Amino acid sequence: MERLPEIRDIALQKGGDKRLRSFSIWEICQFMLKIPPDTLRKKLADNPTLPQGEVAADGRQRWFTLTEVNELRRRIKFRGRLLLPERPKGRAIRTAVANFKAGGGKTTLAQHFAHSAALDGYRVLVVDFDTTAVLTQAMGLRDVDASHTLWGVICRDLYQNSTENMPEQVQSIGALRAQDFIHNTCWPTIDIIPASAETAFAEFALAKFRKLDPKWDYYAAVDRYLNALPHDQYDIILFDCPPAIDQKALNAFFAADILYVPTGPTYSEFESTAAFLRQLARASGEIKTDFAALRVLLTKFMSSDAQHLATQAAYQNGYGADLAAHPLEWTELLDQPDASRESVFETDYRQMTREEWKTARRSFDLAYAEFRETVMQVWLENEP
């Protein structure tokens, strides 16, 4: 155990903290601000107080940090409007990404949706419910104190909502502030409530705590926590759930507005997804959970594979409008070790041809556009 950090560093293949790359004018204009490159170059030339980026060594391209891109969003007008994303009034919309089967693409989907939303100009909070902490590590966090993870959020809620005498550990966590559980990532507009392998005992501890105070509605802990945050602190909140309907996951389902269920394109995964939704329906009856929207999303999909197409037809027949229209195509960019994984958006397109990079991100862009449309619909329905 003493060599665990050293072994983890070797596995991550990184010599230090994870850093977000910069973005070129071509990339910013085509995928982020969606304005002509010549328009942006002229606005930069006309107003030297705008972020000017950093000129590449070859002198051919300017590169901007995401913080600089977001300042451009706030200060540049195109066709009479600022380049900020649409944001209805009210609290952030919460989406749980969940299924039974490990390896179905839950973490990949949560990671890419978070990155897509951040590139779109939204402020994002991700909550890692899975003690394998893959998303936490992919976001660049390591050696997180267990008391400052999702487990700490639940312990704090118990301390604040119980009249019983609690163990010393719960009392110490109960004294923490709400913001103490939120950690920055290398993405300036993405924060995370992380997970830790050290909290794998949480299921046993929660069972014990429920016996100490049977009146404590443990499944609402995360919902109460998020409700207490300032409504304008975040725009989109994403939950990366464990491959189980456990006590932590029930917190995610109770707090979520939208449920996304990623699943592979095989018949066994079709059966697993159906079982997951049946059991979740029974659990939801116990805790009175209603989702404003449900989307089943095929992942690792190959349109040239006859079995994948047949499975897609079965999903369409079974789930109809709840099946996401745009599956995530399989790409070699996703075939990475869990802890060191980079999203398509973190990958520098100079490592390949622009067309290869655009092809790799195309299905993610389509899936995100559908996700954003779903979020916006729920947002507008709940707008005060």
What distance in Å separates the CA atoms of residue 173 and residue 327, rounded to the nearest whole number?
41
Indicate the range of 15-29, 41-55, 202-216 predicted with least confidence.
Answer: 202-216
For residue 2, pLDDT over 50 is answered with: no
Q: CB–CB of 32/85 below 8 Å?
A: no
Q: CB–CB of 113/371 below 8 Å?
A: yes
What distance in Å separates the CA atoms of residue 155 and residue 201, rounded to the nearest whole number?
13
Render pLDDT for 227-279 as a digit per residue (tens, 0 to 9): 999 999 999 999 999 998 888 899 999 999 999 999 999 888 999 999 999 99
Strands (E), the chain: 23-24, 54-55, 62-64, 77-78, 81-82, 93-97, 124-128, 183-184, 190-193, 236-240, 258-263, 293-298
Q: Name the helix (H) or strand (E) containing 280.
A: helix 267-287
Higher pLDDT, 351 or 126: 126
- Please report where in the chains the tokens 């979520």 appear, as a residue: 256
Closest CA relative to residue 152, chosen from 176, 128, 124, 184: 176
Higher pLDDT, 299 or 59: 299
Confidence of residue 336 (pLDDT cuts 50, 70, 90): low
List for the chain the helix, strand, coil content (%; round to 5). Answer: 50, 10, 40
Confidence of residue 338 (pLDDT cuts 50, 70, 90): low
The maximal CA–CA distance of the chain, rounded, in angstroms, is 67
For residue 327, pLDDT over 80 is answered with: yes
Radius of gyration of the chain (CA): 22
Higher pLDDT, 73 or 143: 73
Q: Name the helix (H) or strand (E) containing 207.
A: helix 202-212
Closest CA relative to residue 253, chosen from 229, 221, 227, 231: 221
For residue 318, pLDDT over 80 is answered with: yes
Average pLDDT score over residue span 165-178: 87
The domains located in the chain, with CATH, are: 21-82 (3.90.105), 93-381 (3.40.50.300)
Residue type, 335: D
Q: Residue 335: its pLDDT value, please?
A: 56
Q: Residue 340: its pLDDT value, please?
A: 56
C-alpha dihedral, 27 to 29 to 30 to 35, nearest 10°: 180
Q: Residue 161: its pLDDT value, please?
A: 87
For residue 14, pLDDT over 70 is answered with: no
Q: Is 34 left (phi over 0), alpha (psi -120 to 50) or beta?
A: left
Both tokens of 252, joined, read 């995610």
Q: Residue 11: its pLDDT value, please?
A: 41
Please spell the DSSP secondary structure of 71-137, one letter per residue: HHHHH-EETTEE-PPP--SSSPEEEEE--SSTTSSHHHHHHHHHHHHHHTT--EEEEE--TT-HHHH
Indicate the range of 17-31, 110-124, 330-344 predicted with least confidence.
Answer: 330-344
Average pLDDT score over residue span 279-296: 84
- Provide, rounded to the nearest whole percent, the portion of the chain with pLDDT above 90: 65
pTM for the predicted model, two decimal places: 0.92
What distance in Å separates the CA atoms of residue 151 and residue 127, rounded to the nearest whole number?
11
Direct distance between the N- and C-terminal alpha carbons of the chain, in angstroms, rounded to an integer? 51
Mean pLDDT of the chain: 89
| Sequence-separated (6 or more) residues with CB below 8 Å from residue 354 | none
Closest CA relative to residue 341, chosen from 24, 4, 13: 13
Residue type, 44: L
Confidence of residue 209 (pLDDT cuts 50, 70, 90): confident
Render pLDDT for 150-166 as a digit per residue (tens, 0 to 9): 999 999 998 898 877 77
| SS3 label, residue 173 | helix
For residue 1, pLDDT over 50 is answered with: no
For residue 60, pLDDT over 90 is answered with: no
For residue 28, pLDDT over 90 is answered with: yes
Higher pLDDT, 350 or 120: 120
Render pLDDT for 61-118 as a digit per residue (tens, 0 to 9): 899 999 999 999 999 999 999 999 999 999 999 999 999 877 778 999 999 999 999 9
Q: Residue 15: its pLDDT value, please?
A: 39
The pair phi, psi for residue 11, each rounded to 5°, is: -65, -40
Both tokens of 309, joined, read 């197409």
Q: Residue 168: its pLDDT value, please?
A: 83
Average pLDDT score over residue span 208-231: 90
What distance in Å separates the CA atoms of residue 140 and residue 224, rounded to the nearest whole number?
27
Q: How many CB atoms lie within 10 A of CB 334?
A: 19
Average pLDDT score over residue span 312-333: 90
Average pLDDT score over residue span 354-369: 90
- Please report where in the chains the tokens 């490990």 appear, as a residue: 102
Q: Residue 125: its pLDDT value, please?
A: 98
Closest CA relative to residue 133, chosen from 263, 269, 8: 8
